Structure 1
Amino acid sequence: MDTIEIQRIAEVEDESWWYRERRAAVARELRRIGTPGRAVDIGAAGGGNTRVLAAHGWDAVAVDGSPAAVRLARARGVEAYEGDAAYLPLPSGHFDFAMALDVLEHVEDDRAAAAEMARVLRPGGTALVSVACDLSLWSAHDVVLGRVRRYSRRALAEVIEGAGLLVDRMWSWNVLLRPFVRWRRHRAAGWGLERFHPAVNAGLRAVATLERHLPVKQLPGVTLFARAHRPV
């Protein structure tokens, strides 16, 4: 992801329905984990999600392969380091929680990246992963963002389990808005995170919020989430 795209994300993530609802999903998982500890946000971009970890009491650090992203995260008060997701500059068995949101689909060797996530976790530690899913959703948006794949449930499980982690739960996200997202992205020639009118943004977030309370998490969505742990 280049400098311009990182800056665009930083500009929209505090108001965008997509990023705000994804942060809410992270917050729910953190509450399920319970007592905060040490956490790492892998592929953190400007550190927006790392700040969510810190707000929930975690001692959190960010890692990103872009020097521009690291500078931006540090400017926002985040402890950040430059490093490749497949070769993290972090000690083994050090973290209670490792998070990689929309990262693996950008990494050529996603199995190496998953193995690194497992390596830095302590035994019993938790990993939270999200990935773009379903190749039928592939569009110019994926190309602009530098994705090299979209995942099926089976493919994501194989990558996580191949790293020695045990999958506790896997679920779809943005199920209700999948038709809208598919329509938008197949019409767009590139970047798709422009600012919506506030009323449209609020409406989209309302639909995404409604999804939390409906039994749709096993239906096809736009994104797959998985929570896993490193065996003791």
Structure 2
Amino acid sequence: MDRSIYDAMAAQDSVHWWYVARRDVLHDLIARHIPLPADARILEIGCGTGHNLAMLAKFGTVEGSEIDPASRAMAIERFGPVIGDARLPELAGIADGRYDMIALLDVLEHVEDDVAALQGIARRLRPGGKILLTVPQYRWMWSGHDTANHHFRRYTKKTLAAVIAASGLRHEIMTSFNSLLFPLAAASRVAARVRGREGSDDSMPPAPVNALFRQVFGMERHLIGRVPLPPGVSLAAILSPR
């Protein structure tokens, strides 16, 4: 990703509505659908500035991996020296059969060979282990944000299911999320395309808007994995070896 993207992440990941509400939604998805032992070992690949690690640590002992040096340094400062720099799909230095859960949160779209990436991750799971995966949804939603973040693709349920199957995995759950704000996001993307202004604007919104979006998106924590959610900006899946 561009350096500016990491800098914006570092500045906003504790307050921006998207980061905060997404952590809440994913916390409840894990709690509801991934039974973990008391001594669970958890790995987040592509942990960025470490903004998800404290949430994941509620479920077990957490390690991270991040290839950007500055972001990795911030994650270490926040969370401790358990952050490596293994790169997908090889994951050099990460032992096979070690983890009860591996989180890959908006990372797979950055990897050119997504099938090989999931295969490499699956080898690091203990028997019964799970992968928690999130990706952006819908190619027609492509914008300057995707370009600036060096995405190779966005997914649909069909294309993600095909990648999962080709990796020798199965999905126990696959669901849209960030659905309640999807109509607004879709309208914004289409309007920007019509105006020819598809830049990447990830700046903080005004405080009242930030609070409203956080509340609306955060409501999905009570719904995800319980009821089918309508189309959303993102997809979440829980994967296990076949």
Shift of the alpha carbon at 1:26? 2.0
Structure 2 letter corresponding to 1:12: Q
Shift of the alpha carbon at 1:117? 1.2
| Separation of aligned partners in 1, 2:129 and 2:49 | 24
Shift of the alpha carbon at 1:153? 0.5
SS at match of 1:85: coil
Task: Provide, for residues 24-64 of structure 1, a one-character-per-residue CA deviation record: whole Å limited to 9, x for no partner.
Answer: 1221133232434111101111111122112x042111112
- Change in Cα spacing, 1:58 to 1:2, as seen in structure 2 (3 Å) is farther
Where relative contact order (Cα < 8 A, 6+ residues apart) is larger, the structure is 2
Task: Provide, for residues 44-92 of structure 1, a one-character-per-residue CA deviation record: whole Å limited to 9, x for no partner.
Answer: 11111122112x0421111122122211211212421112121113001
1:191 corresponds in structure 2 to 200
Q: Which stretch of the first structure deviates more once superposed, 141-150 or 2-11? A: 2-11
- Change in Cα spacing, 1:125 to 1:24, as seen in structure 2 (3 Å) is same
Question: Contact conserved, 2:136 with 2:235, CA < 8 A, in 1?
Answer: yes
2:219 corresponds in structure 1 to 210
- Change in Cα spacing, 1:85 to 1:51, as seen in structure 2 (3 Å) is farther
Shift of the alpha carbon at 1:171? 0.5
Structure 2 letter corresponding to 1:68: A
2:231 corresponds in structure 1 to 220
1:20 corresponds in structure 2 to 20
Q: Over the residues paired in the alignment, what is the CA RMSD in angstroms?
A: 1.8
Q: Which stretch of the first structure deviates more once superposed, 72-81 or 203-212? A: 203-212
2:64 corresponds in structure 1 to 62
Aligned-pair identity in percent equals 35
Stretches of structure 2 that go unaligned for 5 or more consecutive residues are: none
| Separation of aligned partners in 2, 1:67 and 1:213 | 36
Question: Contact conserved, 1:2 with 1:66, CA < 8 A, in 2?
Answer: no
1:42 is aligned, of 28, 34, 45, to 45
Task: Provide, for residues 89-138 of structure 1, a one-character-per-residue CA deviation record: whole Å limited to 9, x for no partner.
Answer: 30011100000011111111111111111011112101100000111111
1:97 corresponds in structure 2 to 101
- Change in Cα spacing, 1:25 to 1:212, as seen in structure 2 (3 Å) is closer
Q: Which stretch of the first structure deviates more once superposed, 86-95 or 191-200? A: 191-200
Stretches of structure 1 that go unaligned for 5 or more consecutive residues are: none
Structure 2 letter corresponding to 1:82: D
| Separation of aligned partners in 2, 1:217 and 1:69 | 35
1:135 corresponds in structure 2 to 139
Shift of the alpha carbon at 1:8? 1.0
1:88 is aligned, of 55, 70, 91, to 91
Shift of the alpha carbon at 1:160? 1.8
Q: Which stretch of the first structure deviates more once superposed, 37-46 or 213-222? A: 213-222
SS at match of 2:79: coil
Q: Which stretch of the first structure deviates more once superposed, 156-165 or 6-15? A: 156-165
Task: Provide, for residues 139-167 of structure 1, a one-character-per-residue CA deviation record: whole Å limited to 9, x for no partner.
Answer: 11110111110101011112222222221
| Separation of aligned partners in 2, 1:228 and 1:57 | 17
SS at match of 1:48: coil
Question: Contact conserved, 2:177 with 2:233, CA < 8 A, in 1?
Answer: yes
For these two proteins, the number of residue pairs brought into alignment is: 230
Structure 2 letter corresponding to 1:166: R
Question: Contact conserved, 2:182 with 2:232, CA < 8 A, in 1?
Answer: yes
SS at match of 2:63: strand
TM-score between the two structures when normalised by the length of structure 1: 0.91
| Separation of aligned partners in 2, 1:206 and 1:113 | 34
